[in-house]
């Protein structure tokens, strides 16, 4: 084990997390051949295979799974040492690594970043936008300082703080504006447009639309809320979007929007960070600013009369 390097461990962790050489190489900012070579050298040093390889993806061997648990502990400890050094050099955190889910990032990030820059002079903000599961994992492992996600995440290692609660609204063609808002059971008979698998917002929308174990009659998928709204404008179906997305996503779409009758679908957006982080005091102060910024933005943005129609 003399020749195992910290860099190799980070490469291993990235490949174990992403399952594909191309994605892991991009995350590590190296070429695929270089990543492959480093993993091969690590396996040779350990004397055991870490991955099972096939044409499409790689999977951890049984040894690799056990090795991964120990590597994550090592990398987390190293990152916490870095955090400790950062706090000892500065009276306040100078670089913030924050993750945000895609159904929040376009709508809250601009105002949050502006408020953070105004409150904490000189702070550098690195943003990562990806799915909740990846963000939570990266916060736990120390790759991110904090993340804005849908709550709860229910991870004992993380502190959760609610930023805001918001409702979902129905998006349908402009021609349907005068029609009654359907009950959730009726949505199961419509062509429902949802985000792709992996988005927590997809799961939340499905949870509202289905009264039992049955799924809606027909589902089409899109890669972003913007795509879904534009598809609705083209007459392809109906969709649900969070309230914060309404001003941005409905500006140029031929759609109408409406609230559902009670019980209205909603979600809780919050921020998470590690309980053990040496930067915990600073992160709490940053989280307070983000919460105030997010709540002020949600109150100020919706200017449409009772969200009755837009487009």
Specify the pLDDT at position 133: 87
Superfamily of domain 165-266: Periplasmic binding protein-like II (3.40.190.10)
The CATH class for the domain spanning 6-76 reads mainly alpha
Residue 311 banded pLDDT, cuts 50, 70, 90: very low
- pTM of the entire predicted model: 0.72
| pLDDT tens per residue across span 263-309 | 888 999 999 998 877 778 888 999 999 999 998 887 665 444 334 43
- Model pLDDT for residues 117-152, shown as the tens digit of each residue: 999 888 899 999 998 888 998 898 778 999 999 999
* Number of C-beta neighbours around residue 43 at 10 A: 18
Q: Say if residue 1's pLDDT is above 80.
A: no
Average pLDDT over every residue of 169-185: 89
pLDDT for the residue 273: 94
User: Does the structural domain 86-164+268-300 have CATH classification 3.40.1350.10?
Assistant: no
State pLDDT tens for residues 213-266. Answer: 445 556 778 889 999 999 999 999 999 999 999 999 998 889 999 998 888 889
Confidence class of residue 201 from pLDDT cuts 50, 70 and 90? Answer: confident
- The whole-number pLDDT of residue 217 equals 56
Task: Find the largest Cα–Cα distance for the chain.
Answer: 72
**What is the pLDDT at residue 267?**
93
pLDDT of 134 reads: 86
Domains of the chain: which residue ranges? 6-76, 86-164+268-300, 165-266
Q: Exposed, middle or buried: residue 16 (CB in 10 Å: 0-12, 13-18, 19+)?
A: buried
182: phi then psi, degrees, rounded to nearest 5: -70, 150
Q: Three-state SS across the chain?
A: CCCCCHHHHHHHHHHHHHCCHHHHHHHHCCCHHHHHHHHHHHHHHHCCCCEEECCCCEEECHHHHHHHHHHHHHHHHHHHHHHHHHHHHCCCCCEEEEEECCCCHHHHHHHHHHHHHHHCCCCEEEEEECCHHHHHHHHHHCCCCEEEEEECCCCCCEEEEEEEEEEEEEEEEHHHCCCCCCCHHHHCCCEEEEECCCCHHHHHHHHHHCCCCCCCCEEEEECCHHHHHHHHHCCCCEEEEEHHHHHHHCCCCCEEEECCCCCCCEEEEEEEEECCCCCHHHHHHHHHHHHHHHHHHHHHCCCCHHHCCCC
pLDDT tens-place string over residues 42-87: 999 999 999 998 767 788 999 999 999 888 888 877 877 776 666 5
């Amino acid at each position: 084990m003399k020749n195992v390097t910290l860099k190799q461990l980070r490469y291993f962790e990235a490949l174990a997390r992403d399952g594909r050489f191309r994605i892991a190489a991009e995350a590590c900012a190296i070429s695929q051949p270089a990543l492959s070579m480093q993993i091969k050298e690590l396996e040779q040093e350990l004397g055991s295979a870490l991955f099972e390889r096939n044409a499409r993806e790689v999977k951890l061997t049984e040894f690799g799974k056990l090795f991964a648990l120990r590597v994550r502990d090592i990398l987390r400890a190293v990152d916490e040492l870095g955090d400790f050094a950062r706090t000892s050099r500065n009276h306040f955190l100078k670089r913030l690594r924050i993750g945000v889910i895609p159904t929040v990032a376009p709508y809250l990030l601009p105002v949050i970043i502006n408020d953070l820059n105004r409150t904490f002079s000189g702070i550098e903000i690195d943003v990562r936008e990806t799915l909740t599961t990846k963000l939570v994992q990266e916060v736990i492992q120390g790759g991110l300082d904090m993340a804005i996600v849908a709550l709860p995440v229910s991870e004992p290692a993380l502190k959760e703080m609610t930023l805001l609660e918001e409702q979902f609204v129905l998006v349908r063609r402009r021609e349907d504006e005068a029609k009654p808002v359907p009950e959730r059971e009726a949505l199961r008979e419509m062509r429902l447009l949802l985000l792709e698998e992996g988005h927590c917002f997809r799961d939340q929308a499905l949870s509202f639309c289905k009264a039992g174990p049955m799924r809606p009659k027909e589902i089409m998928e899109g890669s972003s809320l913007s795509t879904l709204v534009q598809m609705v404008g083209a007459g392809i179906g109906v969709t649900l979007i969070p309230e914060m997305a309404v001003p941005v996503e409905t500006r140029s779409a031929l759609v109408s929007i409406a609230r559902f009758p009670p019980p209205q679908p909603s979600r809780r957006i919050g921020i998470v960070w590690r309980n053990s982080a040496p930067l915990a005091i600073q992160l709490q102060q940053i989280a307070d600013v983000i919460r105030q910024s997010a709540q002020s933005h949600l109150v100020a943005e919706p200017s449409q009369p009772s969200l009755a129609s837009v487009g």
